[in-house]
Amino acid sequence: MIEMKDITKKIGDKIILKNISFNISSGQFVTVLGPNGAGKSTLFKILALLMKPTSGTLKINGVTVNESGIALRAKLGVISHNSFLYDSLSARDNLLFYAKMYGLKNAERAVKEVIQQVGLELSYYQPVKTFSRGMLQRLAIARCLLTNPEIVLLDEPYTGLDQQAIEILNKVLKTLKTEKRTVLMITHNFEEGVTLSDRIFILNRGQLVFDEPNTYVLDTLKEIYLKKVGVFS
């Protein structure tokens, strides 16, 4: 469960997010759309506990985010532009590092399982610096799944992916939905991005200008988006 109330983020004199409020119940899948500069990544960073808002409150599973941020972080799986992976380590060693950091039991087995889930078993011992963008993103997905997070946050996960990686990502997202995890995904990709959504947000100029259940066919949603935002970008 995510509860955001009146979140505002200012950087200098600039208002990046203005009075954003929403509740996302457990098991809901939300897609956030919006043009460049709308404030999507800033919203993502606040939700991922990577940035503090200027004002407003954020609760995760009923717990207010403040000093308890570190404990709450274990409940969040994050997939973003930063893969949080170490170049010189192999796929296995990268994930073992995280498994140990989170104190997972049966770490080696857990690592093997998630690496299989993203189809990287043949690259188990390969250093990450030799990975393609698609492989890196698959390993980032595996890292996110390792801790069995209740809430999964994704920032533009389709960017730069090859077809195989897109299919794996879609499969993983489908599983997360079946398992009733809470998912919030920021994307430009209407085609892939809204298929599994229960609810759509549109962010424009730092404001939440649309928050509706996903009952629309794609063309209608694109029309709504154009009306709210003005352009596709």
By CB under 6 A, is residue 187 in contact with ligand ATP?
Answer: no
Q: For residues 193 and 200, give the distance between their C-alpha atoms in angstroms, rounded to a whole number.
A: 10
By CB under 6 A, is residue 40 in contact with ligand ATP?
Answer: yes
Packed helices 91-101 and 107-117: angle between N→C axes, nearest 10 degrees: 130
From the list 4, 7, 16, 152, which residue makes contact with ligand ATP (rule: CB under 6 A)?
Answer: 16
Minimum Å gap between C-beta 187 and ligand ATP is 10
By CB under 6 A, is residue 199 in contact with ligand ATP?
Answer: no
Q: For residues 100 and 147, give the distance between their C-alpha atoms in angstroms, rounded to a whole number.
A: 11
Kindly tell me which of 12 and 103 has the beta carbon lying closer to ligand ATP: 12
Closest listed residue to residue 208, CA positions, set 46, 8, 1: 8
By CB under 6 A, is residue 36 in contact with ligand ATP?
Answer: yes
Kindly tell me which of 9 and 143 has the beta carbon lying closer to ligand ATP: 9
Candidates 31-39, 55-63, 128-136, 174-182: pick the segment binding ligand ATP (CB under 6 A). 31-39
From the list 7, 20, 33, 38, which residue makes contact with ligand ATP (rule: CB under 6 A)?
Answer: 38
By CB under 6 A, is residue 37 in contact with ligand ATP?
Answer: yes
Please report the beta strands in 114-198, taking only residues with DSSP state E, as ranges in sequence order. 151-155, 182-186
- 57 exposed, middle or buried (CB, 10 Å; 0-12, 13-18, 19+)? middle
